[in-house]
Amino acid sequence: MPNVTIVRRCADVAELVSVTATGLGDSAVVSADLRQLDLTVIAALRSRGVWVVGLHAPDNDGEERRLRQLGVDVVLPVDAPGPVLAAAVRDRSPVVTVPGVADPGRPQDAPVARDGAGGWRPAGPGSATAPEGRVDDLDAEVPLDPISGRVLAVWGPPGAPGRTTVAVTLAAELASRGRSVLLVDADTYGGCVAQVLGLLDEAPGIAAACRAAEHGDLDLISLARVAPEVTPRLRVLTGLPRADRWPEIRSAALERVLTVSRSLAEYVIIDCAFCLEEDEELSYDTEAPRRNESTLTSLAVADEVLAVGGADPVALQRFVRALQELGGVPSGPPRPVINRTRPSAVGGEPRARIAASLERFAGLSAVHFIPDDPAAADAALLAGRSVVEHAPDSALRHAIGELATAIAPDTARRSVRRRPSWRSRRGVRPTHG
């Protein structure tokens, strides 16, 4: 190839990763059938500034689709002319013209790499084409019209402030207002969305989705298959049943799942874990999975973060300190939510007291308050249903409804005040002093 120097012919993925780690090359040409080539490998190469060119067999749509879903920069057939391949490697152009091949480069609507510590964003949503050989077995319904969903991450400090309660109720509320919602349980410490909604969790959906993304097999239909609809317009991607399975949730794979999720639902709500520590990066094996990368990735991808805190003095102190930690990681703008607000914990007029404290110590002026409603929450949990279904007239549901209106004003419910009828009034007699 003209003006291209080949520095190493790598025998396998392990050699490719180690060679690029030394900085010997700035581009890599990989084959679609290279063993152990997955999303994590491509993400590692791109994090080092390596330009990746993928080659697939001519007329093999499966290999081409897999390379695109892995986030390869340029996808070309293996019989592409030498000058075309050289230009793809040398010029680092995502679009290369190949005679007889239409648009072999990265899709025009695919997300690009993000600057900063947020990391790399994988290629755009996969096509709505089902994996080969499994079309007849599919019963999942996917949107026919293009969707660009909004991602909301529900996060909070340790101490069980009510992250899952807020996430589940908010998702059910938006779905009840006619919006398609995908609820993702990304808590790698104690995910419990499946239990809250009375679902079987033997086969965690998030692990299956991340596995498919890791191998380049995740598209809209495969994601819909592992995220079933539990109520009208509400899909759930269940979490890990055991905390020791956290290595199954890799950062690049989860980011790919969330990217495809935007095309599946109008609102993607993520139930995150509490921990934001990044000290694991100081470990010897820097390529090993990180325990908290699920939360960090969710916060980085989210368009908005709902920061949930408790309403007692200890929980409020944790909340203020956690907000300082949140400011040190890539994340969307936080929307503070104080859960279980009650006078018994902080004294009279709890909203005013808490609002004044948060404005003084955290600089927060707009805070959403959710009242303490154990009767509604416990009854819904016992029934394995959301509060929206089981206690639609509860104070908890109405408070979450106000939060939903603030997040999505176009979904606000109209309140109609009925005038009393003549029948209801005629029995009332005026009283005279």
Q: What is the pLDDT of residue 204?
A: 77
Q: Which residues are CB-contacts of 163 (< 8 A; sequence separation ≥ 6)?
A: 154, 155, 156, 187, 271, 272, 274, 308
* Both tokens assigned to 308: 């949930």
**CA 423 → CA 104, 317, 418, 420, 429, distances in Å?**
73, 55, 14, 8, 13
| Per-residue pLDDT at 289 | 73
Strand order in the sheet with 304-309: 229-231, 234-237, 181-185, 267-271, 150-155, 304-309, 334-341, 368-371
* Residues 309 and 337 sit within 8 Å (Cβ to Cβ): yes
In whole angstroms, what is the distance from residue 360 CA to residue 357 CA? 5
In the chain, % helix, strand, coil (3-state, to 5) comes to 40, 15, 50
Residue 256, token pair as written in the block: 């790919």
What are the tens digits of pLDDT across the range 389-423? Answer: 999 999 999 999 999 999 999 998 765 444 444 34
Residues of the chain with pLDDT under 70: 1-2, 93-141, 144-146, 201-202, 279-288, 414-433
* Percent with pLDDT over 70 in the chain: 79
Neighbours of 22 (CB within 10 A): 9
pLDDT at 1 (0 to 100):
62
Number of continuous H segments (helices) and E segments (strands) in the chain = 17, 11
Digit-coded pLDDT (tens) for 108-119: 333 333 333 433
- What is the DSSP-derived secondary structure letter of residue 101? B
Q: What is the pLDDT of residue 239?
A: 94
